[in-house]
Amino acid sequence: MVERPVAHYHAPMIESPAIVSFRTAGAEDVPAIVALVESAYRGESGLRGWTTESHLLDGQRTDAADVPALIARPDSRVLLATRDGVLVASCHIERRHADGYFGMFAVDPAEQRSGLGKQVLARAEQLARELWQCRAMRMTVIEQREELIAWYVRRGYRRTGEHQPFPYGDERFGIPRRADLRFEVLVKEFTETVA
């Protein structure tokens, strides 16, 4: 019997050596969170991963003033994923009426394609259901990020057809490299309820 090569349509997953732990961020975590988010989306380090926005935006993705505000806001959490005490991923979740909102998602570029992002997203969804009994999770993604939108669709999110304007002129969100940026709203309805 002749063994035939198998075609690979996705990059191979990186083996993760140690278990990931989750916890909620505190004020002492702000510098590490800002560094992680910037490394995943901007500059040279962002180019190592597939989540970079460097082709769309220059400037910052977040800063040391925005992150503490998210941590302190009611019905809001910044979730951290650590491995051996080192921050490897983070995201922001908050309750917005009956739904959760998911954002500021960052995975260390060296950890991307390892399955870590799926774990973080699943934990964020679980927290939104347990903490606030959310019926769905919503998010906004720059519509030009088709590969990222496809990743979320594979995780059960659907494109709503709803759009929100990009905040041109507000450098806290970056400096646009093109004039047609806008956000697309994605939503995932939760089929199970948590009592």
| pLDDT tens by residue, 19-60 | 899 999 999 999 999 999 988 876 554 445 556 666 787 666
Residue type, 25: A
Both tokens of 184, joined, read 């697309």
Domain containing residue 141: CATH number: 3.40.630.30
Residue 132 lies in a domain: yes
Residue 50 lies in a domain: yes
**Looking only at Cα atoms, what is the longest distance across the chain?**
64
**What string of pLDDT tens digits covers the 195 residues of the chain?**
444 343 333 444 444 457 899 999 999 999 999 999 988 876 554 445 556 666 787 666 778 889 999 999 999 999 999 999 999 999 999 999 999 999 999 999 888 888 999 999 999 999 999 999 999 999 999 999 999 999 999 999 999 999 999 999 888 788 888 999 999 999 999 986 555
Residue 42 lies in a domain: yes
Of 33, 42, 48, 50, nearest in space to 104 by CA: 33
Is residue 150 within 8 Å of residue 116, measured between CB atoms? no
Domains in the chain: how many in total?
1
Both tokens of 114, joined, read 């390892």
Residue 9 lies in a domain: no
24 lies in which domain range?
Answer: 20-189
Both tokens of 191, joined, read 């089929």
Query: At which residue do the structure tokens 């063994």 appear?
Result: 3
Residue 12 lies in a domain: no
Residue 172 lies in a domain: yes
Q: E-strand spans in 2-47?
A: 20-24
Of 158, 164, 167, 161, nearest in space to 187 by CA: 158
Exposure of 101 in the CB half-sphere (CA atoms within 13 A)? 12
Residue 7 lies in a domain: no
Residue 90 lies in a domain: yes
Which letter, b or e, does each residue of 82-102 get, where b requires 16 or more Cβ atoms within 10 Å of its Cβ?
bbeeebbbbbbbbbeeebbbb
